[in-house]
Structure 1
């Protein structure tokens, strides 16, 4: 029986994530992304017929389109991710790390290294279909689990062919801490590890720091999870951040991103560390804000290492521009494994699964 994959959205640009895998007479939707830019239409869900929905994590471009789906379609996500679902939306639990049957298909999940409650997804159909969701090897707080083998790899390529290590990013940000800064961040993602880093930097440099209450709440949630679901050796650092009070009139402020504008922060310079909307790109172009990446997605060499570990023969780079120059770079990195078709058929042989473990990624 054939395995068919259709990327409804997320191929060729940084857009909402929505992928259908059809196998064994069932259609599973992987993620239900919403618009990254307010007012943009969500078109991938038009007349969509699926048997179940699996959500990798709670960021808007992966979960924000759930309201477009029929409410009677079974939806699976981890309990922490479920907090971001529309009110009254019924859901069924995905394990943070484990295996379950969904519509007769064996689904394995593991930690994706990107956000609180976020997981990658592996479907035991054909030679295996692996979907990374958003993933990262470099997080100081979120682990990345070794996935089972898979012939098809649907991978987070948000950074394109970029390949700078996290240490370079942190050094560049540290060089800007001489001024009052506000960091708008996703409160379930990079905000948690940036809180630990900024707390250490503030203490070492004698700087004042305030951390958003929502980020504190999520740090507490991370600490309450089973120890194996966070990086080892960070519990004391999390507890220390939770115990410290916020400094009044702090020069450094780590805040939940609420579409902050420079006008809202007259006494601080906004320093963004992730995706920039068109409005923010315009602000950056005229010097109204600063930007320096904090790695939360797979960089190019890590994506290739993951494809190698999976044994993938069809690798789809998702959530990235596929210009001629980028396609040339991907062909050089992935050779004949590169797949940029919106619809394609995968191999149908069963796959032998490896055990989950700690992926020893290159740095």
Structure 2
């Protein structure tokens, strides 16, 4: 029996993540992403029939569509990710690192290096299907676990052909720290490692610093996890930051992103470090806000390295444009392994070499 992969959303551009894997008579949904932009609706969930859903992490473009699906669908996620589910939504635990059976299919998870409670997913069917969700090799705080081999790799390509190391990003941010700044960030993602880094920089420059209470709470939640679920050597720094009071008149403020706008922070400059909505792109073009990336996704060479590590023979870069020069760049990097079709079919007797077919 063939395995079919249906990329409902997230192929060809930055958008909600929603992928159905149909195998052994079962249909599993990998992530249930919501709209990235305020006021937008999602279209992938209409009439969807699946046996279970697996959520990689709690960011809106991976979990925000759960409310659009029937509550009778079994949902699997880690306990920390469950905190972001709609109130009273039933769920079953995914291990932070380990394996379980879901609808008769072995699912293995590991740390994805991106966010608190976030995992990658590996399905043990037809040579292996690996889905990274959002992933990063460069986090100072979150580890990335080596996954099992997989014939098919569905990988976080959010950064396209961008390939600058994290150290370059830190140097660029350092040049902007001598003025009052507000940095809005996802509270379970880069917020935690940025809190550590910014507190060190603030001390070095003798600048008053503050972080949102919810970011502080999430740092405490991270510290309460088994020590192998965070990078080694940082526990004392996390503990010290948790004991430290936020300054009453800070020059640097790390805040949970609540769609902050410049008029909400009249005495500060907003510095964004991640994805910009169209509204924020307009603010950046008008000089109303600043932007400097902090790496939280796989950069291009790391995506290729992960595909190599998996020994994948078909690779789908997700959440990235796949036209024009962008497509040419992926073709050059991945060669015959590159798949850009919205539906893939894997035959058991040929798993191990490229078997992707376009389904119209």
Q: State TM-score, norm by structure 2.
A: 0.97
Q: Distance in 2 between matches of 1:140 and 1:185?
A: 16
What residue in structure 1 maps to residue 205 of structure 2? 205
Report matched runs for 1:243-254 at 5 Å.
243-254=243-254
What residue in structure 2 maps to residue 190 of structure 1? 190
Q: Offset of 1:347 from its aligned partner? A: 4.0
The C-alpha deviation readout for 1:306-348, integer Å capped at 9, x for no partner, is 0000000110000111221000000000000000000011242
- 320-329 or 301-310: bigger deviation: 320-329
Q: Offset of 1:80 from its aligned partner? A: 0.2
1:286–1:147 CA distance, 2 compared to 1 (3 A): same
What residue in structure 1 maps to residue 258 of structure 2? 258
Q: Distance in 2 between matches of 1:218 and 1:166?
A: 23
What residue in structure 2 maps to residue 11 of structure 1? 11
Report matched runs for 1:145-156 at 5 Å.
145-156=145-156
What residue in structure 2 maps to residue 177 of structure 1? 177
Contact 1:124 1:351 in 2 (8 A): no
Q: Distance in 2 between matches of 1:22 and 1:146?
A: 25
1:235–1:306 CA distance, 2 compared to 1 (3 A): same
Q: Distance in 1 between matches of 2:242 and 2:122?
A: 35
What residue in structure 1 maps to residue 355 of structure 2? none
What residue in structure 2 maps to residue 83 of structure 1? 83
What residue in structure 1 maps to residue 103 of structure 2? 103
| Runs of 4+ off more than 6 Å | none
- Which SS does the other structure have where 1:191 is aligned? helix
**RCO (CA 8 Å, sep 6+): is it higher in 1 or 2?**
1
1:267–1:349 CA distance, 2 compared to 1 (3 A): farther
Q: State TM-score, norm by structure 1.
A: 0.96
Is structure 2 residue 330 aligned with structure 1 residue 330?
yes
For the aligned residue pairs, the C-alpha RMSD in angstroms reads 1.1
What residue in structure 1 maps to residue 297 of structure 2? 297
What residue in structure 1 maps to residue 158 of structure 2? 158
1:268–1:6 CA distance, 2 compared to 1 (3 A): same
Q: Distance in 2 between matches of 1:132 and 1:147?
A: 10
Contact 1:54 1:75 in 2 (8 A): yes
What residue in structure 2 maps to residue 355 of structure 1? none
- Which SS does the other structure have where 1:153 is aligned? strand
Contact 1:127 1:349 in 2 (8 A): no
Report matched runs for 1:311-350 at 5 Å.
311-348=311-348
Report matched runs for 1:217-256 at 5 Å.
217-256=217-256
- Which SS does the other structure have where 2:348 is aligned? coil
Query: What runs of 5+ residues in structure 2 fail to find an aligned partner?
Result: 353-360
What residue in structure 1 maps to residue 93 of structure 2? 93
What residue in structure 1 maps to residue 356 of structure 2? none
